[in-house]
Amino acid sequence: MTDAHLSPNDGAAAMATANQALMSDPTINVTKSVLDILGAGVDVENGKAAALEEIQSLGLADYVTELDTNGYTIIPPDKVAPPEFIDRMLDAVLDVAERRWGSRPDMVNPDAQGFSAPHGTSVTYMLYEDPVFQEAALNPTALAMATYLVGHNAILYTCMALLKGPGRVDMPLHSDNIMVPPPFGPNNFVCNTTWLLTDASPANGSTCFVPGSHKQQRHPYPDEGTADRVAITAPRGSLLVWPGHTWHGGVARINPGLRVQMPIMYGRMYVRPQEPYMENVTRDVLDRNPPRFAKLVGQHVPYGFKEEGPDLAKFPGLPMHSPWE
Ligand SMILES: O=C(O)CCC(=O)C(=O)O
Ligand SMILES: [Fe+2]
């Protein structure tokens, strides 16, 4: 806590509290600094262990194994949400698109509406457009997987829909660790939970992955990995999950009609979200949702202070527990 932005009093008080906790805990070697302890990495494993209990209770252990091995997993609809929920999500996506664009996307014959870009057309900043997107972000399966990958203090990073019609060009392989210089290191910063609102298959222009590519801990070079891509096949209502490290893209859609999927991405609390949830959440939305939602929209994030300085109570578990859990 030597941050120059702390007011002298805040800094002294924080240091005193930290030292007090260190000195009074007989299990702690007092010659270690707070940073030594925070940097030890032990709590990353503790955080994962807690997340794994939740994973077990939801019957998701095999999907975590697949995720760790291949860098992605496909969770089937019966472990995610009932079909009516997927109907609500799709309707809400089409409603938002219609409100913003003046015409409803045509699911059967979208060609005239221009959805032919390799990743389709994105409908961004959806979280506050309809409560169904907030429910999706809080879905127990999605949240357990996100917690496993980016911790209990995770924030929402993006919540958008991708609408993709027939096209000729594949979406190139990339990692979602956008702007992160390699090497990434072993821990994840962001993860993607993509809701399939239409059936996925190669002819439908599905998302593709390079199995094992998350272990490279870097972005792919242009065209690297293309020969090893696997374009997924999965029914509507499935949830794709992958960490930012994994190389993925999308194959061009051959079939007529529209592919609709929603990437809802989470990040560690230090990550800058793509969309401004923290600044724009209303009291009404916070009151309607459980406490975890307040965290997802960054109400526990201590950054963004002005001359008043940081709210030290918002530094999680200071000084003994890791803010990255
Ligand atoms: O369009 C796709 O299938 C891939 C989308 C993508 O890259 C993403 O959601 O991060
Ligand atoms: Fe991506």
| Residue list, ligand 1 pocket, CB within 6 Å | 119, 162, 171, 176, 192, 194, 207, 248, 250, 263
Q: Could you tell me if residue 304 is inside a domain?
A: no
Give every CB contact of residue 110 below 8 A, 6+ residues apart in sequence: 163, 165, 257, 258
Ligand 1 nearest atom to the CA of residue 174, by list position: 7
246-290 confidence digits (pLDDT tens): 999 999 999 999 999 999 999 999 999 999 999 999 999 999 999
Ligand 1 nearest atom to the CA of residue 250, by list position: 3
Distance CA 44, CA 133 (A): 29
Please check the confidence at residue 210 and state whether its pLDDT lies above 60: yes
Say yes or no: 129 and 257 in one domain. yes
278-290 confidence digits (pLDDT tens): 999 999 999 999 9
Confidence of residue 13 (pLDDT cuts 50, 70, 90): very low
Distances (CA, A) of 173 to 14, 159, 250, 259, 284: 45, 21, 8, 19, 40
Identify which of 59, 225, 260, 253 has the alpha carbon closest to the alpha carbon of residue 168. 253
Work out how many domains the chain is built from and give that number: 2
Ligand 1 nearest atom to the CA of residue 206, by list position: 3
Say yes or no: 143 and 96 in one domain. yes
Give every CB contact of residue 318 below 8 A, 6+ residues apart in sequence: 14, 17, 18, 312
Mutate to test the pocket of ligand 1, among 74, 157, 162, 193 (most ligand atoms within 8 A of CB): 162
At residue 274, φ and ψ (nearest 5 deg) are -70, -30
Per the CB < 8 A criterion, the answer to whether 105 and 162 are in contact is no
User: What is the residue-averaged pLDDT of the chain?
Assistant: 86
Q: Could you tell me if residue 308 is inside a domain?
A: no
Q: Could you tell me if residue 208 is inside a domain?
A: yes
pLDDT value of position 284: 98
Give the pLDDT mean for 41-56: 70
Q: Could you tell me if residue 4 is inside a domain?
A: yes
Say yes or no: 101 and 227 in one domain. yes
Say yes or no: 143 and 285 in one domain. yes
Please tell me the number of the ligand nearest to residue 176's CA.
2
Note down the domain range covering 9.
Answer: 1-40
Give the pLDDT mean for 171-184: 97
